[in-house]
Amino acid sequence: MPGLTQYGYRDAMSGFFEFPTENARRILPAHLEPVEVHHGTSVFALTAFDFDKSEVGAYGEVVMAVVVAPLVKPGQPFPKSAMYPYLVATTTKAARDHAIERWHLPHWMDDVDIAFDRQKDHVTVHVKADGAPVADLTIYQYEWHPVSHLHQSFMKDGDANYLAHITMEGQHSEHENEKGSVKLYEHPFNKVLSIADVYDVPFREQWMRDGRQTFQPLEQLETA
Amino acid sequence: MEAAHKKESGKPVFSDYDYSNFYYGSGDDPLNLLPPFNEWYREAKPNGYYLYNEPLETAPTTKVRVRDGKTQEVRDLVNLASYNYLGISYRPEVKQAAMDALQKYGLGASGSPILSGTFDVHVELAKAVAEFKDKEAAILFPTGYSANVGFISAIMRAGDHIFCDQYSHASIVDGAILAKSKTVFFRHNNPMDLERKLSGVRGKKLVVVEGVYSMDGDVCLLPEIVDVAKRHGARILIDEAHSTFLFGPNGRGVSEHFGLDDQVDFHLGTFSKSLGGQGGFVAGSKDLIDYLTGFGRSRFFSCNLAPALAAGLTTGVRIVMNEPQLRARLWSNVAFLRRRFAEEGIDIGKSTSQVMPVMVNNDAKVFAVAEKTQQGGLFLQPVTYPALPKHKSRLRISVSAAHSEEELEFAVGVIGRVLREEGICRA
């Protein structure tokens, strides 16, 4: 299909954490609505990618996002979920420039260090920016099954709002056994989060490996 | 990854989705979610979701006649799904009281309880409940859901704080939403997390717990919760939907069981569980009940309970007060089933009550397990995500005092066989 952009990854691990809806609303643009797991409790998602194949080579990436309501249109494929990535960080300048130019994703403007500490049944991802720790994310595996899931990603760049349709393919493990964890550090990287109010155990842990992330061409949204 | 690529182009696989996917959706039309939902549901229903809403054609005794949601075949099944924990709803004297009231008053109350909808049978029921709960007064609500929604929104306001267990019933959550208070969820049955959440919070605070949690069948850690709440100046509401008429020396509930009846500020219960009827209540001081009469909107703006129902329930409450052997019989059945499940290697999770989850822990298999148990002669439903965390799916059993040991033994045999066939429990 013309216009598709593909990225191959070795690992893509996500932790989904409860945090106050007030915090989510402070992060989100007005046209997006946070998904709540409970009344007053929204979802902060931290995802770490280990990309091994892309137009800009291999690189690491972390995505800080809020889970939001997907945009549903008649006759269009139905997405499984939607995100608003409010901060992305990469290990290379080339990857950062590419994502800013093509996807209008908001970035931490310096390279970050992302280390994947792979153990038998879990991985801990250590993220550092400017030499200081930003986040440590641990995700445990469950059963593995092949999937192909359609997701949406909303972006805002100045006054312009965008939507990307993203298909995630690969081996998929997902559970809600509350085994993983996150440690978020006081750092400018995390300035929009009330860290004490982010629950440090993910209610859901998702791990995809040996897969492919496919972006359809970006769609510009008309919002009020 | 190949398998993922083999899916029909553009067509989602129904098992990739569940109810949670069809709740949120932005766009231009509130009906936008209907086509994708119905496309999913048309596939999901024959693959297991038909097990919900199957109509019963007999009274909810320990044996029921059920119309199969897929084949439309009518089958006689051992009933492990209905609440009716004490087997009250079909007792002859209960039915007679309801029939007498039906003859006298007709079908419904024909009005709100504060206007024309209160009859002498409602007053009698409220008095019986107050006497049973050893409180000054009680107020009736049309359902248990309505009782939580009406009570919480009657006493809490915007700017107040409500602290709910994360596994709170939807009626508690909806009550908090209606109250417009800040709602904070603490980890399930975890007094330490409650302590952490309460720390430093000023103003009006309400802690809400349930006597027995309806998905796991575990009992509230009430002494520890009360201790934390008292130290932080919070009031405590206990929803004893699944524990009233069952727990404690007089059956008043988990608060009586722990000797904390006077330490808990607000006592809420239902008639639909232990009595197999319908309705909810709050019992407490006369001052509290008078206030709720004026501010319990879910009651104020609903038609009152049908008089026939109120009359039957009053008889049911009297039976509970006069026949403690019913509770003894229930707990004997619970002990029997627990022992037999343990002997068969069947996992019932954290249950310490008459609510017993048979843990399947496999979202992909739970519908097949439920289907096979129904074909084997049991009426019970699967419970899965999003009502539970992913991979915590189960069959939920309600034990009744009315079950015979033969019926329970039959259930153990069917469940054990199916779980072994599906590789869920050991051979």
In this complex, is the C-beta atom of A175 within 8 Å of any C-beta atom belonging to chain B? yes
> pLDDT tens, B36-66?
999 999 999 999 999 999 999 999 999 999 9
Q: Find the helix or strand (DSSP H, E) in which B378 lies.
A: strand B378-379
> pLDDT tens, B106-135?
999 999 999 999 999 999 999 999 999 999
Are A33 and B24 in contact by the 8 Å Cβ rule? The answer is yes
List the one residue out of A154, A192, A149 whose CA is nearest residue A26: A192
List the one residue out of B350, B91, B330 whose CA is nearest residue B218: B350
Average pLDDT, chain B: 95
pLDDT for the residue B15: 85
pLDDT for the residue B50: 93
Q: How far apart are CA B301 and CA B314, in angstroms?
A: 23
Which positions in chain B touch A12 (Cβ < 8 Å)?
A: none
Does the pLDDT at position B336 exceed 90? yes
Nearest CB partner across the interface for B32, out of A39, A72, A210: A72
Nearest CB partner across the interface for B177, out of A39, A73, A212: A39
Are B137 and B126 in contact by the 8 Å Cβ rule? The answer is yes
Global confidence as pTM: 0.93
List the one residue out of B260, B256, B277 whose CA is nearest residue B87: B277
Q: CA angle B387-B410-B326, nearest 5°? A: 75
pLDDT for the residue B427: 59
Indicate the angle between helix axes B92-105 and B307-322, nearest 10 degrees.
Answer: 150
Which positions in chain A touch B26 (Cβ < 8 Å)?
A: 31-33, 69-72
Confidence tier at A1 by pLDDT (50, 70, 90) = low
Q: Where do we find the tokens 């949204």?
A: A221
Provide, rounded to the nearest whole percent, the portion of chain A with pLDDT above 70. 99
Question: Mean pLDDT over residues A63-86, rounded?
Answer: 96
Question: Mean pLDDT over residues B78-103, rounded?
Answer: 98
Q: Is residue A169 packed enough to be buried (19+ CB in 10 Å), middle (13-18) or exposed (0-12)?
A: buried
Partner-chain contact B17 A80, CB within 8 Å:
yes
The whole-angstrom distance between A150's CA and the closest CA on chain B is: 9
> pLDDT tens, B176-231?
999 999 999 999 999 999 999 999 999 999 999 999 999 999 999 999 999 999 99
Full DSSP string of A153-167: EEEEETTEEEEEEEE
Does the pLDDT at position B3 exceed 50? no
Are B280 and B268 in contact by the 8 Å Cβ rule? The answer is yes
Which positions in chain A touch B1 (Cβ < 8 Å)?
A: 146, 169-171, 210-212
Question: Mean pLDDT over residues A124-140, rounded?
Answer: 98
List the one residue out of B120, B121, B141, B116 whose CA is nearest residue B289: B141
Which positions in chain B touch A40 (Cβ < 8 Å)?
A: 182-185
Q: Find the helix or strand (DSSP H, E) in which B320 lies.
A: helix B307-322
Are B265 and B282 in contact by the 8 Å Cβ rule? The answer is no
Nearest CB partner across the interface for B1, out of A31, A146, A175: A146
pLDDT for the residue A224: 60
> pLDDT tens, A176-215?
999 999 999 999 999 999 999 999 999 999 999 999 999 9
Token digits of residue A183: 């440690």
Token digits of residue B201: 């919070």
Are B292 and B151 in contact by the 8 Å Cβ rule? The answer is yes
The whole-angstrom distance between B54's CA and the closest CA on chain A is: 29
Partner-chain contact A175 B12, CB within 8 Å:
no
Q: How far apart are CA B427 and CA B421, in angstroms?
A: 9
Strands (E), chain A: 5-20, 36-38, 41-53, 59-68, 81-90, 112-118, 122-129, 132-140, 145-157, 160-175, 181-184, 204-215, 219-221
In this complex, is the C-beta atom of A211 within 8 Å of any C-beta atom belonging to chain B? yes
Please, which residues 26-55 of chain A have a Cβ atom closer than 8 Å to chain B?
A: 31-33, 35, 38-41
Q: Where do we find the tokens 């994310």?
A: A137
Nearest CB partner across the interface for A148, out of B5, B33, B185: B5
Name every residue in B having a CB less than 8 A away from some CB of A.
Answer: 1-5, 7, 10, 12, 16-17, 21, 24-27, 29, 32-33, 35-36, 39-40, 164, 166, 173, 176-177, 182-185, 389-392
Partner-chain contact A176 B389, CB within 8 Å:
yes
Partner-chain contact B27 A73, CB within 8 Å:
yes
Q: In what order do the strands lie in the sheet with B63-67?
A: B63-67, B74-79, B378-379
3-class DSSP state of A63:
strand
Within 8 A by CB and 6+ apart from B325, the residues are none
Nearest CB partner across the interface for A170, out of B1, B33, B182: B1
Rounded to two decimals, the ipTM of the complex is 0.89
β-pair type (B355-359, B394-398): antiparallel
Confidence tier at B13 by pLDDT (50, 70, 90) = confident
Q: In what order do the strands lie in the sheet with B382-383?
A: B355-359, B394-398, B382-383
Nearest CB partner across the interface for B3, out of A39, A78, A146: A146
The whole-angstrom distance between B14's CA and the closest CA on chain A is: 11
Provide, rounded to the nearest whole percent, the portion of chain B with pLDDT above 70. 97
pLDDT for the residue B11: 57
Count CB neighbours of A125 within 10 A.
25
**Looking at chain B, which residue has its C-alpha nearest residue A33?**
B26
Does the pLDDT at position B24 exceed 90? yes
In this complex, is the C-beta atom of A92 within 8 Å of any C-beta atom belonging to chain B? no
Within 8 A by CB and 6+ apart from A79, the residues are A70, A71, A72, A150, A151, A152, A165
Partner-chain contact A142 B182, CB within 8 Å:
no
Top residue of A1, A23, A148 to mutate, by most chain B CBs within 10 Å, is A148
Partner-chain contact B27 A72, CB within 8 Å:
yes
Q: Find the helix or strand (DSSP H, E) in which B69 lies.
A: none
Partner-chain contact B24 A35, CB within 8 Å:
yes
Through-space distance between the first and last CA atoms of chain B, rounded to whole angstroms: 33
Count of A–B CB contacts within 8 Å?
85
Q: Is residue B7 packed enough to be buried (19+ CB in 10 Å), middle (13-18) or exposed (0-12)?
A: middle
Average pLDDT, chain A: 96
The whole-angstrom distance between A217's CA and the closest CA on chain B is: 17
Provide, rounded to the nearest whole percent, the portion of chain B with pLDDT above 90. 95
Strands (E), B13-159: 63-67, 74-79, 137-141
Are B281 and B147 in contact by the 8 Å Cβ rule? The answer is yes
Top residue of B16, B24, B156, B177 to mutate, by most chain A CBs within 10 Å, is B24
